[in-house]
Amino acid sequence: MTPGRIIFLNGTSSSGKSSIARELLDVLDEGVFFHLAVDAFNAMRSKRELGAAELDAALRRTRMGFHRAIAAMSEVGKDVVVDHVLSEPWRLFDCLTVLRPEDVLFVGIHCLPDELARRELARGDRPPGLAAQQYELVHSHGDYDLECDTSTLSARECALRIKEFLPHRPRPTAFTRLSRRYLTDGESA
Ligand SMILES: Nc1ncnc2c1ncn2[C@@H]1O[C@H](COP(=O)(O)OP(=O)(O)OP(=O)(O)O)[C@@H](O)[C@H]1O
């Protein structure tokens, strides 16, 4: 069975990942893509109050499960658009461990800090300062197949750029280069 393609969108909160993922499902007309969002996985959890340590452990395992769900969908031939925030090094390392690197198109979603703060205030459903706190962390590995800046492009325009790029993605992929750096050569983040 041919593995499904994985379009992996990584950026801070409010950078526009979910908006791009929705547009991608609309514009990608070859194959059937599924949008897998880390937020949606977190929202599946029962709402029982947890202590700080228990919550941390639950969130970590939820993310590990999320990474494996992406791998499982791709393994059974489903194409996926992933919407994630790689704000801790282990999240990227875990993805590098469980996903087939050649199947991943790794897309950095950027947005200027002032615009992120404006969006956070306007949407009102994210704590102020969340995006700023993640800003330096999410792109620290510094390698992508493609990057989009939503300060200047609409979600639709980003989706169209990704669609156009998908058949021409370079080999080795960014995930392959990152696997070599972090898993084979043992570089730390
Ligand atoms: N390209 C864009 N230009 C202007 N506004 C945008 C753009 N993309 C998204 N937005 C707006 O920014 C807000 C956050 O967008 P979205 O939910 O797509 O971000 P996200 O990265 O998925 O955030 P989170 O990780 O917090 O769920 C929304 O109000 C959305 O309408």
Q: Tell me the domains of the chain and their CATH numbers.
A: 6-184 (3.40.50.300)
Catalytic residue list contains 29: no
Is 173 labelled as part of a ligand binding site?
no
Residue 142 is assigned to a ligand binding site: no
Return the pLDDT at 167: 93
Residue from 3, 10, 4 nearest 145 by CA = 10
The pLDDT, as a whole number, for residue 187 is 84
64 half-sphere exposure, CB direction, 13 A CA radius: 7
Take residue 188 and report the two structure tokens written for it.
């730390």
CB 74 near ligand 1, within 6 Å: no
User: Residue with the nearest Cα to atom 27 of ligand 1?
Assistant: 13
pLDDT at residue number 76: 97
* Distance separating alpha carbons of residues 132 and 88, to the nearest angstrom: 14
Supply the pLDDT for residue 131: 96
Q: Whose CA is nearest to atom 7 of ligand 1?
A: 16
Residue nearest atom 9 of ligand 1, based on CA coordinates: 16
Residue located via tokens 């493609």? 146
| Rounded Cα gap, residues 80 and 183, in angstroms | 24
**Interface TM-score (ipTM) > 0.90:** yes
For residue 113, cis peptide bond before it (omega within 30 degrees of 0): no
Around Cβ 6, how many Cβ atoms within 10 Å?
A: 27
The per-residue b/e assignment along 56-82, b for 16 or more CB within 10 angstroms, e otherwise, is eeeeeeebeebbbbbbebbeeebbbbb
Q: Measured from the CB, is residue 10 less than 6 Å from ligand 1?
A: no
Give the integer Cα–Cα distance in Å for 92 and 143: 12
- In sequence order, what E strands does 38-118 have? 79-84, 104-110
User: Smallest Cα–Cα separation from 2: which of 96, 74, 83, 59?
Assistant: 74
pTM metric for this prediction: 0.96
pLDDT by 10s per residue, the chain, length 189: 899 999 999 999 999 999 999 999 999 999 899 999 999 999 999 989 999 999 999 999 999 999 999 999 999 999 999 999 999 999 999 999 999 999 999 999 999 999 999 999 999 999 999 999 999 999 999 999 999 999 999 999 999 999 999 999 889 999 999 999 999 888 887
pLDDT reported for residue 100: 97
Ligand 1 centre and the CA of 140: distance in Å? 21
Distance between Cα 155 and ligand 1 center (Å): 8
| Catalytic, out of 26, 39, 56, 143 | 39
11 is an annotated ligand-binding site residue: yes
